[in-house]
Amino acid sequence: MAIYSDWLESKHSARVWLDNAMTAQCQFATIRPLVKNKRYNERNFKEYSYGIYTEAESGDIKYLSTTYISHRNLQSKFREFIEEGSNPCQILWEVRRSLSDYGDWYIYSFTPLYSDGWITERDRPPLFGEIIMIDEDIWET
């Protein structure tokens, strides 16, 4: 039986995202994002893509791209869990996309939900590990 999810998936890659005002759940594969320098409307910026699990039935890693603000807020939450002796990749998170208080753009907010996620530690990459991409452009939508 399929479980409903608000995650939207690319037809061309393992990239996922939420539309405006959508909420979904995820578990992080690792706390280290893939970083890509990008250019939009003559402005340079960095995009931070996190490897996440979007469902309990699959161990497939999907990629959620975030802005600097979402990345900074998420890293702060990761740091708090690590300082408390907890593994932030073990936790199931609620992800919500909404309009930023800082301007006219959308950000993701992350709220820890449950202390036990879907994928066990032995089946995930190392906490601080890098996810190696082989012949896949996760930035293609």
Whether 15 maps to a domain, the answer reads yes
Do residues 29 and 125 lie in contact, with contact meaning Cβ atoms separated by under 8 Å? yes
**CA 89 to centroid of chain Cα atoms:** 11
Whether 139 maps to a domain, the answer reads no
Neighbours of 121 (CB within 10 A): 11
Residues of the chain with pLDDT > 90: what percent?
40
Whether 91 maps to a domain, the answer reads yes
Say what the pLDDT of residue 123 is.
79
Tally of domains in the chain: 1
Whether 110 maps to a domain, the answer reads yes
**Full residue range of the structural domain in which residue 29 is found:** 8-123
Vertex 59: Cα angle to 55 and 20 (nearest 5): 35
The answer on pLDDT for 135 being more than 50 is no
Confidence of residue 125 (pLDDT cuts 50, 70, 90): confident
Among 104, 131, 109, residue whose Cα is nearest residue 35: 131
Q: Which sign does the torsion angle of CA 33, 115, 62, 95 carry?
A: negative
Whether 43 maps to a domain, the answer reads yes
Whether 135 maps to a domain, the answer reads no
* Cα torsion through 90, 3, 8, 117, rounded to 10: 0
Say what the pLDDT of residue 1 is.
37
Whether 132 maps to a domain, the answer reads no
Residues of the chain with pLDDT > 70: what percent?
85
Whether 87 maps to a domain, the answer reads yes
- Two tokens, residue 72: 């900074």
Do residues 96 and 74 lie in contact, with contact meaning Cβ atoms separated by under 8 Å? no
Beta-strand pair 92-99/23-28 = antiparallel
Question: pLDDT tens, 50-105?
Answer: 999 998 888 889 999 998 889 999 999 999 999 999 999 999 999 999 877 766 67
Torsion region of 41: left, alpha or beta (phi above 0 gives left; psi -120 to 50 gives alpha) = left
Does pTM surpass 0.85? no
